[in-house]
Structure 1
């Protein structure tokens, strides 16, 4: 048995020295230069080969990105996204083994306005990133977050998917790409800089972020707005895939924080390799096999440049938000138990969406913010229904206000427009952006609209922490009223629909 008086310090020190000075685990010849995990010691060359192999093997075995397809690389300037950019750049070189065959482009979303950075600081960050982007030779786009206020309402609508391809379509696309040869080439490099941002737009964005009372709600809202802007940029520029640089460590933190935020039904799409919630634009995560430590070693050993910009969670305490607390918990646990992140990550691979299947164009069954399938259609005796009833009773000011929102919606909409008409379906767009913002879809009239029925449980918690929904972007308010009008129309004509009769006959 172990004795208190025994000293194990010398044995532990000798064990650490021997693990660092041993030979490479793969080639058995060169001395180990990096130890990512306890038993994985690699030399410099084998570490690079293994790093590159995991990236290209992830893209090859999934076969989500077809040859000649345009892929938009979302680069934030951090270590993970810049490492992803380096992998794509080396994979497209002429002497690359298992050469990549898609056409990449780069997008950078400047979030300085949301965190209160000055315009001079934002321009300096953009200049540093421009030098990195120009070295790749890829076309790049600099998009300020303020543009999310002028997006069209089609951003929160799922477009028809083109993923239904035959089994041999990938091999046929590879053969066609090889035969085309030099015909498939990258677009010419564009000179992109930070567009002129009006102070009024920045002020509106800051009001939107300030309306969220907690940092947890701010981070969740910011991630939704960033995702909307990425999808809109991909659609307008003709990209069918968006490549995200989220590491294994980041996805492990998102998994646990998502469970805490009530996103259990959406975790399969939030952490999976492929995310097709928008239909025509699919997000992929090729860096999900790499830990943050592994990426940091690779960037340091092979001089991968990165530009770190401050965010909402910069220089804050560990208990400031659920996301920050989860990140601190996972990283500290990983330091003592190196298999923590890997175990959480492998668990996320087994997750599947259990919600009802909905068509790509059925927006009524999707959340207005995250575009995932709604998880609020639970049984009456479920824990979710008990939570919703408790929330309604706690926020009710009178017996009439305790009535569920679906019963109050028609009367409220009639109060907004006595004639029952709306001009948002016409040409009343704001600023010519196609947002569908008409006379009865203004933010002033949106106070009467019940928004909770259009959101999943997690997004309902985010909206609950906001002081007012009037600060939400106009495209969200317009889409909300359009969905409610469509739901009211469906209820009115439901007794006359022949589809319901046919479905009932088939069931019998």
Structure 2
């Protein structure tokens, strides 16, 4: 038995702690400047080569971006997206060892209206980012978030994807690029003077009304992410870009994976966290930064002075329990501190996921959500968690439960008649719900009007996106814009 008086300190061996005083693990000569993981100490130059090689390797391994293609970079001003912009800038320079072969453009979405910033504050942020974009020499687009209210209904439709490329098409395109030295491919245009476009005050108020109708910060962040993605995809389509490059890091995707599971988006994980996302058909979303942790990105930006612009979001200065996204981020980062393989383990899990979509009746392709354009996950059995949630909401008397029977009608079950006794909104019930009254029950009329406008939309939404409609936002303001355009998009999908 161990004794309190015994001293074991002399016999215990002290574990070697990685230190920057060691030599670089790659060149074995220069002193280490940073330690990424236990035993991975790099000098400054070797870390830069390691960082650059990883970016080019992930693009070369997947072979999605063909030589000469136009690629739109979604830059938010944060560390990861700015680091991605620096990698593309250096990869296209003349002194690059293995040059990148695509034609880049930059898109920035100004979300100042979502957090209540003044016009002067928004102009100041745009001016800082414009200076960064102009230094790259790439064309760029400044997009106010209010523009999402003017997008056509076709933005949530899946356009036909380009014809399937043969197996050797990528190698043939590379050989052709090398032979012509890239002279036959389009070159980046000169950047133009661009400031924040003029935004009508009514559009700003309408956007704030939409976001204000969402009751929780969790749903508001999900809705903002969907609106942002719609605007980026529409810009890529109208400007002729075939690929949309996002700056999601490994840490961010690990948080997103756990958050999506918590929000009921398990069926969409492969599209939300994978390297490529082809849900829109003609525009493919690419995530080349998914192999980098937040620590690696922070080290690279600090050592090589990558300019970043701090842009506040809807979750800035909120407590960790304010939303599911914030709580998950706090959980993952704290766990990563004690267990350094946490993020990589979660990230590797996402690589093995695939989406099993429900086939559209009478046509090819999958049935997709009208808001996030992912495969629908609402066609489930009676004894399922989704049906249990609907029944629970119905019994608790929530708004979503009121439409539960409409969403999932049971065969052979007659509809319940409208109340004819006393109106639920009138204490005396005079002139409402009484025999011979032309008006009928006001609550029944209101429910009919709400179901008429919401039913075609809700039937085409996935489990997670239904909470945006349930939040009570008016159909004229909501991104899916009511039943008329919902039916139009549904008809377009049926014809494809």
Q: What does 1:326-405 correspond to in 2, within 5 Å?
A: 326-357=328-359, 365-395=367-397, 403-405=405-407
Q: How far off its partner does 1:20 sit?
A: 2.7
Q: What does 1:264-283 correspond to in 2, within 5 Å?
A: 264-283=266-285
Matched, 1:461 2:463: no
Maintained 8 Å contact 1:65/1:102: yes
Maintained 8 Å contact 1:151/1:475: no
Distance 1:2 1:280 in 2: 69
Distance 1:401 1:284 in 2: 37
Residue 466 and residue 27 in structure 1: after superposition, are their counterparts in 2 closer, same or farther (change >3 A)?
farther
Q: How far off its partner does 1:392 sit?
A: 3.5
Matched, 1:39 2:39: yes
Matched, 1:449 2:454: yes
Gaps of 5+ in 1: 409-443, 491-508
Distance 1:232 1:126 in 2: 21
Maintained 8 Å contact 1:155/1:228: yes
Q: How far off its partner does 1:8 sit?
A: 6.8
Distance 1:241 1:200 in 2: 33
Q: Considering only CA atoms, is the larger Rg found in Structure 1 or Structure 2? A: 2
Maintained 8 Å contact 2:210/2:473: no
Residue 84 and residue 12 in structure 1: after superposition, are their counterparts in 2 closer, same or farther (change >3 A)?
farther
Q: How far off its partner does 1:385 sit?
A: 2.2
Structure 1 counterpart of 2:174: 174
Maintained 8 Å contact 2:274/2:351: yes
Q: How far off its partner does 1:356 sit?
A: 2.9
Distance 1:257 1:308 in 2: 24
Structure 2 counterpart of 1:227: 229
Residue 364 and residue 175 in structure 1: after superposition, are their counterparts in 2 closer, same or farther (change >3 A)?
closer
Maintained 8 Å contact 1:156/1:479: no
Structure in which a larger fraction of residues adopt helix = 1
Distance 1:297 1:163 in 2: 41
Q: How far off its partner does 1:2 sit?
A: 7.7
Structure 1 counterpart of 2:94: 94
Distance 1:186 1:465 in 2: 43
Gaps of 5+ in 2: 411-448
Residue 457 and residue 42 in structure 1: after superposition, are their counterparts in 2 closer, same or farther (change >3 A)?
same
Structure 2 counterpart of 1:183: 184
Structure 2 counterpart of 1:309: 311
Distance 1:297 1:465 in 2: 41
Matched, 1:152 2:152: yes
Structure 1 counterpart of 2:212: 210
Q: How far off its partner does 1:15 sit?
A: 4.1
Structure 1 counterpart of 2:255: 253
Residue 2 and residue 332 in structure 1: after superposition, are their counterparts in 2 closer, same or farther (change >3 A)?
farther
Structure 1 counterpart of 2:439: none
Matched, 1:472 2:484: no
Q: How far off its partner does 1:404 sit?
A: 2.4
Partner of 2:285, secondary structure, is strand
CA RMSD of aligned residues (A): 2.9
Partner of 2:357, secondary structure, is coil
Q: How far off its partner does 1:400 sit?
A: 9.3
Structure 2 counterpart of 1:142: 142
Distance 1:486 1:67 in 2: 32
Structure 2 counterpart of 1:26: 26
Distance 1:70 1:369 in 2: 26
Residue 4 and residue 222 in structure 1: after superposition, are their counterparts in 2 closer, same or farther (change >3 A)?
farther
Distance 1:470 1:98 in 2: 50
Distance 1:384 1:249 in 2: 29
CA offsets, 1:439-497, max 9 Å, x none?
xxxxx98863313211111112333344554531365654323356789x99xxxxxxx
Number of aligned positions between the proteins = 451
Q: How far off its partner does 1:240 sit?
A: 0.5
Structure 1 counterpart of 2:110: 110
Q: How far off its partner does 1:71 sit?
A: 0.1
Distance 2:8 2:163 in 1: 62
Residue 99 and residue 393 in structure 1: after superposition, are their counterparts in 2 closer, same or farther (change >3 A)?
same
Maintained 8 Å contact 1:396/1:402: no
Q: How far off its partner does 1:389 sit?
A: 3.0
The 10-residue stretch of structure 1 (278-287 or 386-395) with the greater mean CA deviation from structure 2:
386-395
Distance 1:342 1:2 in 2: 39
Distance 1:290 1:122 in 2: 30
Residue 8 and residue 263 in structure 1: after superposition, are their counterparts in 2 closer, same or farther (change >3 A)?
farther
Maintained 8 Å contact 1:158/1:363: no
Q: How far off its partner does 1:97 sit?
A: 1.3
Matched, 1:323 2:328: no
Give the alignment partner of residue 196 of structure 2, picking from 191, 194, 197: 194
Maintained 8 Å contact 1:406/1:453: no
Maintained 8 Å contact 1:153/1:476: no
